[in-house]
Chains A and B, each alone.
Chain A
Amino acid sequence: MVSPTLVAPQLLTVVLWVLVWAAIFLLAVTLGSRAGRLWRERRERQVLDELRPAMLAVASGEDDDSSALGRLTTVTHRRVRVVDRTVSTMLSKVKGEPARALARVLRAHGRADWALRGLASKRSIRRAYSAWILGLMRERESGSKIVPLLQDRSMDVVVAAARALTLLGDSKAARPVMRAVAPRRRPRGLPSWVAVESLCAFDDAVAPVVAEATAHPQPSVRHVAATVIGTRPLPRAAPVVRKRLAVEEDPRTLAALVEALGEIGGSFDLPMLSRFAQHSDETVALAAVDALEEIGLPSSVDALAPLVADTRPRLSERAAVALAELGPRGRERLRTFADAPGPAELPATYALQLVAMRSATRGLD
């Protein structure tokens, strides 16, 4: 009855058996994985229930007689892994003496040597975790060994290395961190925010590196530099920022530079920021309004006032709210706008409404 021209039944049978075995394999992996995970979790819970008081005593700095520390450093081999993982998590949240005490637990378990060896491991997860552990333990002398990992082929390793260097706070790593943002050999670089947090954690010696990076050919690097200048902030970089503002082409970086100038600039910069508030890219223009408010000088009011009548509603509203935030003089200007029909009337009214509502709930006039 079977048509001989259809797919041969023997072939279908073989394929079916292969699929059945594949299904059995996947089922076994799924069930085994769940059973194993639940077993591990239960065991870890038991260990932690027993040792939690000691861990908390060390992490809170209340282990005056070092008895808790002694208990954690002498746990049995089977418990070391659980203790180390929990201590590592705690280490990322504490500083000072408790952090040093927790690091001593890891050191007693041989984690420092393990991590140093792991930096050269073939497994990327081992390299990443090793770098991170060294950072958590604040092993400052390991910084020079972690730096090369910023050029690692695995992004996980690069991120872990950068974050470890952030914890170590060694500004000698600033240039490699900046270089990792736009690596030559990888399509994607160090995530921007990780680089910014690193460069903000280092001391002021990073200033020349950051200033230099504002002229980097890659916009991602320039953006990191501009963000660092505004976030740290780095007032010494103001001349560089002013210079870059004239030539920057990437709108996101331009906005970051404008914001940075708001943080580090002064009255001298108000005319330039006013010009950027007229920029055709709204992101840049809004950054300029924020910068004018951030500078917070009495003359900022004069710079912001004309912007309330801007044809772009979002910009005019932001300028009006900024004026309201600048105190009585700004609000006086807003009242003038609100009383006169024109493009500035509605944004000014809205900003004054907000001020009134906030004052009412604050119980102030």
Chain B
Amino acid sequence: MDWIEFLRAAVAAVLAFVAWPVLVYFLLINTSYLAMIVLATVDFVSHRRRVPFAGREELMRSRTMPGISVVTAMHNEEMGIRVAVESFLSLQHPHHEVIVVDDGSTDNGFEVLRKAFDLVPVSRRMPQDVAVLEAPTSIHVPRDGRTRLTVVRKANSGRSDSVNAGVNLAREDLVLFVDSDSILDPGALLAVARPFIEDPITTVAAGGVIRAANGCRVKGGRVLDVRMPGKPLADIQVLEYLRAFHLGRAGWSRINALLLISGAFGVFRRDALISVGGFDTKSIGEDFELVMRLHKTFRRQRKPYRVTFLTEPICWTEVPDTAPVLRRQRSRWHRGLWETLWAYRGMLFNPRYGRLGLMAVPYYWIFELIAPLLELAGLALIVLGFALGLVSWQYFLLFMFVAYAYAIIVTLAAVTVEELSYHKYPRWRDLGITLIAAVLENAGYRQLTAWWRLEGWFAALTGRQQKWGTMTRSGFTEVDS
């Protein structure tokens, strides 16, 4: 039929035109990941070497340790909020407070806290350092007047606005944001405060490593035994977190071009945070947007500053283990990425922003934003070429193997670095799962998440309203002893 011949000719022409560019793109994107892993490895090695004389014990006693306000927002989390607050209060730090902002919960979350900590209302003047949509309706503290916990109640206005309310009530120099369903290691506060006491003049923000807690054994808000989740979707995300969030961000931090600190675990100097106006309540990618705004503001003001990343794994969170939840998450992340990059497009290739403008921001445009589009387009073309008989099945398989084998190598490199540095997963079985997941990631998961990311981008371009949905959580594996 004529139209099939026409299609064959068209696909053959496009294939001939894009085959090399697509392969080169795959090569470049994976090489960039590999470069980040190599850069991060330098940091990891340095960190591991420094352990004997780094003075971790002395940090706790150091008189220069700044106070930290741990701010967390809760919305209908009555099941886990008590354990979370208890674990935040018991973190090792000489001077920290915990601020819980109840974002209009309709469950018994507040009652759980009131009973557990014997909360009583107090009269406090609320600072207006950062604008909030919903002002607190009441502020509560434990009756003993000593436990450094503040619980704020307010009407529902979203996480960003709630966290901003927490920033306004924060009394300490540093403000740490953490999701109430995340688990912090006991020494997490000491670790995150470290960059600020190493360089108190210029450090304004620090991000921490977030790892998947699915499958880990947890007791009383502490991770006791690190394990792989054992569910394919979550297993693959463990690798993704390790490769992209852990090693990738450590690499960017190494060259002073870190653009993203996860909202699930990040620490900011309060005055810097206030000077840029806190979280943007309208942004979908509020954590990315905040760091971009920090960069832009400080660069424009020509103030010396540092945004850094800690390589120690100290924060654990539950990752989605079902496709619908993962789809919503990835769609939202990519939409946030697009909206923020577009909002700050003036930084792209702008020498005024140094490495950020010339390296990090272009990288995010080319290798983070456009990646799913190019990946799926390339995949569709080669599959179409195969279906139309333009390429043999041997060539088709060879092309696919080469395209994805490099991605597997990158993931294996990340696993090797983890094994040589923190080796958090002690069981051989977990190592086996990790290696299998490194291969499986490329057989469906990668393509599916690329599609979901495109959905998010498309929704943003067509102006569809973002539906947040519910992050359904299975809960942690609690152990009795």
Contacts and interface: CB of A to CB of B under 8 A. Distances in A.
A51 B123 CA distance: 60
A192 B412 contact: no
Interface string A196-221: 11001000000000000000000110
A328 to B, nearest CB: 18
Given A6-B19, A159-B54, A317-B124, A1 B171 contact: no
Given A5-B15, A19-B409, 7 more contacts: A3-B391, A9-B394, A13-B398, A88-B52, A313-B124, A349-B123, A361-B145
A89 interface: yes
B126 interface: yes
Contact of B401 (A5, A16, A163): A16
A210 to B, nearest CB: 14
Contacts of B171: 314, 318
A19 B405 contact: yes
B197 A12 contact: no
A256 to B, nearest CB: 8
Contacts of A155: 46
Interface string A117-154: 00000000100110010000000000000000000000
B233 interface: no
A3 B55 CA distance: 63
A129 B50 CA distance: 9
A196 B197 CA distance: 10
21 contacts: A1-B395, A5-B15, A9-B395, A16-B398, A30-B412, A33-B419, A37-B423, A92-B57, A128-B53, A160-B50, A193-B59, A193-B62, A193-B64, A197-B55, A197-B62, A197-B64, A252-B201, A253-B201, A314-B127, A316-B125, A353-B123
A355 B144 CA distance: 10
B39 to A, nearest CB: 16
B89 interface: no
A191 B58 CA distance: 14
B16 interface: yes
Interface in A309-328: 312-314, 316-318
A303 B78 CA distance: 45
What bracket does the count of chain B residues touching chain A fall in?
35 or more
B377 to A, nearest CB: 16
A252 B201 CA distance: 6
Interface stretch (A21-29, A56-64, A67-75, A293-301): A21-29
Most A C-beta atoms less than 10 A away, residue of B65, B402, B428: B402
B199 interface: yes
Given A7-B20, A19-B405, A129-B53, A2 B198 contact: no
Contacts of A329: none
A332 interface: no
A145 to B, nearest CB: 17
A256 B134 CA distance: 35
A193 B197 contact: yes
Interface in B12-64: 12, 15-16, 19-20, 23, 46, 49-50, 52-55, 57-59, 62-64
B199 A220 contact: yes
B250 interface: no
Contact of B15 (A3, A9, A13, A37): A3
Given A160-B53, A193-B62, A250 B201 contact: yes
Most A C-beta atoms less than 10 A away, residue of B15, B128, B271, B274: B271
A269 interface: no
Interface of B: 12, 15-16, 19-20, 23, 46, 49-50, 52-55, 57-59, 62-65, 120, 122-129, 141, 143-146, 171, 173, 197-202, 271, 274, 385, 389-392, 394-395, 398-399, 401-402, 405-406, 408-409, 412-413, 415-416, 419-420, 423, 428, 431, 435
What bracket does the count of chain A residues touching chain B fall in?
35 or more
B10 to A, nearest CB: 13
B126 A15 contact: no
Interface string A20-47: 1011001101110110010000000000
Most B C-beta atoms less than 10 A away, residue of A3, A9, A88, A347: A3
> For chain A, what secondary structure do more than half of its interface residues adopt (helix, strand, loop), or is it mixed?
helix
Contacts of B57: 92-93
A302 interface: no
Contacts of B395: 1-2, 6, 9
10 tightest A-B contacts by CB? Answer: A357-B145, A191-B198, A5-B16, A313-B125, A358-B145, A193-B197, A132-B53, A19-B405, A313-B127, A26-B412
B64 A231 contact: yes
Contacts of A82: none
A27 B413 CA distance: 9
Nearest to A128: B53
B412 A361 contact: no
Contacts of B385: 3
> For chain B, what secondary structure do more than half of its interface residues adopt (helix, strand, loop), or is it mixed?
helix
Contacts of B390: 1, 3
Contact of A129 (B52, B199, B419): B52
A154 to B, nearest CB: 9
B398 A3 contact: no
Contact of A30 (B58, B146, B415): B415
A113 interface: no
Interface string A153-170: 001100110011000000
Contacts of A156: 46, 49-50
Given A6-B15, A23-B412, A350-B123, A192 B399 contact: no
B419 A30 contact: yes
A34 B431 contact: yes
B125 A227 contact: no
B437 to A, nearest CB: 14
Contacts of A33: 416, 419-420
A23 B46 CA distance: 25
Contacts of A313: 124-128
Contacts of A231: 63-64
B144 to A, nearest CB: 4
Given A3-B390, A350-B122, A128 B146 contact: no
A31 B412 CA distance: 12
Contacts of B122: 350, 353-354
A166 B428 CA distance: 42
Nearest to B197: A193
Nearest to B391: A2
A282 interface: yes
Given A30-B419, A227-B64, A317 B399 contact: no
B408 A23 contact: yes
Contact of A29 (B124, B129, B408, B416): B416
A156 B49 CA distance: 8
A23 B123 contact: no
A339 interface: no
